[in-house]
Amino acid sequence: MNHGAGERPHLVVIGGGFAGLWCTRALASAPVEVTLVDRANHHLFQPLLYQVATAGLEQESIAYPVRALARSWKGTSFRMGEVSGVDFAGKRLLLGDGELFYDYLVLAAGSRTNFFNIPGVEQHAFDLKQLTQAEELRNHILLLFERAAREPDPLRRAALLTFVIVGGGPTGVEFAGALRELTQHVLSRDYPEVSPGETRIILVEAASSLLSAMPPELREYAAVKLRDMGVELLLNTRVVGADAGQVTFHDASAIQSRTLFWSAGVAAAGLADRLGVAQGAAGRVVVHPDLSIADHPEVFVIGDMACLTQADGPLPMMAPVASQQGRYVARVIIGRERGETQPPFRYIDKGAMATIGRSSAVAAAHGFRFSGYLAWLVWLVLHLYYLIGFRNRLLVLMNWSFYYFFHERQVRLITGDDDHR
């Protein structure tokens, strides 16, 4: 390391998501100085973004100021900024408004939506990575109902009320269920001019089943539950194009729709492409078993940016992987300062889950499989537990409780002047 005798090494962590935050937290009170850098000033609990988009939660209930966290962690500071690159030789982090020198660097910039270069999709699809996107999607949904309520032409009205969701993973399944409940139980009362039967929600998946990481019986349970709720499933179906009013599929069929929601894939954040290092699938940075990169043992890549292959292939781009990697890298750095070594990183799979709607979910963990009400309760408890901040937990619990007992969602606000989609 290039720090002098008696000096505390300077560690820079890029990204305030699950990986970066858990790493920074684990280094609190360690003999290092930590600077956490992010372009946003808040940690965002992305697994609940879809509930902001479907009027179930306020934006601020799933975000927490990073500076409030940093001030409670000894030796930690926060800098808001956009990372433009890294000078590995000079151990410099390049920012839009300056630079930072480091002894250790942890890159945890997360991921971006992968549109697979399908014509028109990136230009016309909604995705959920930021709070502003969730608010934009909520505005869009509510504005469509405002327009449909006064649209006399049946074809245009049908397109306004048709929602195409691409991707049958947890995000797609959860969004489809939440959107169906919003339209059927809440917006049907707000807009008596629109019959609940007029609204179509279509979930498109290229594979033969939903939730491919789940056991077969849970996949089937999810499919049956969604169909019972009125969600249409198009399996073994690929999107090959989209424009402002239509989604086209591989068999040349098309659906007229003003809403395309994309949850069919993710890729490493754009920073990974600017590092000049080896990359794997989805642009992820190839790392050693200790999550460092080749020729630079002081630089670590964790979370969605990291490509580490274990028994069943590359580790998935999921929050549990990111959190475990963040804690692991903190142990590696502390150990190096003490002259100790750590065993290679091993991901401990604690299971997967997805909620389908009110009182219904699927969960698989440690050989146990749950579905229905019990799985839904487990899902609720775990998501509340991993939220940052007591106030946020309380707000989310109050919103969920209100909806559970009254079937009402309070955040039906159109906050934009117009819909540009």
Let me know: does 111 contact 266? Beta carbons within 8 Å: yes
Eight-state DSSP code of residue 179: H
Number of H helices, E strands in the chain: 12, 27
CA angle 78–270–136, rounded 5-degree value: 80
What are the distances in angstroms from CA 168 to CA 118, 205, 206?
18, 5, 8
Who contacts 166 (Cβ-Cβ below 8 Å, separation ≥6)?
Answer: 125, 172, 204, 205, 239, 247, 260, 261, 262, 263, 264
Q: Just list the catalytic residues.
A: 174
What are the distances in angstroms from CA 75 to CA 66, 186, 214, 265?
14, 48, 41, 37
Q: Would you call 420 helix, strand, or coil by DSSP?
A: coil
φ, ψ for residue 61, nearest 5 deg: -80, -15
- How many CB atoms neighbour CB 398 within 10 A? 12
Largest Cα span, the chain:
77
Burial 137-156 (b: 16+ CB within 10 A, else e): bbbbbbbbbeebeebeeeee
Determine how β-strand 104-107 pairs with β-strand 10-14.
Answer: parallel
Q: Is 69 exposed, middle or buried (0-12, 13-18, 19+ CB in 10 A)?
A: buried
Q: Would you call 172 helix, strand, or coil by DSSP?
A: helix
Please report the DSSP string for 328-368 in residue order.
Answer: HHHHHHHHHHTT---PPP------EEEEEETTEEEEEETTE
- How many CB atoms neighbour CB 273 within 10 A? 13
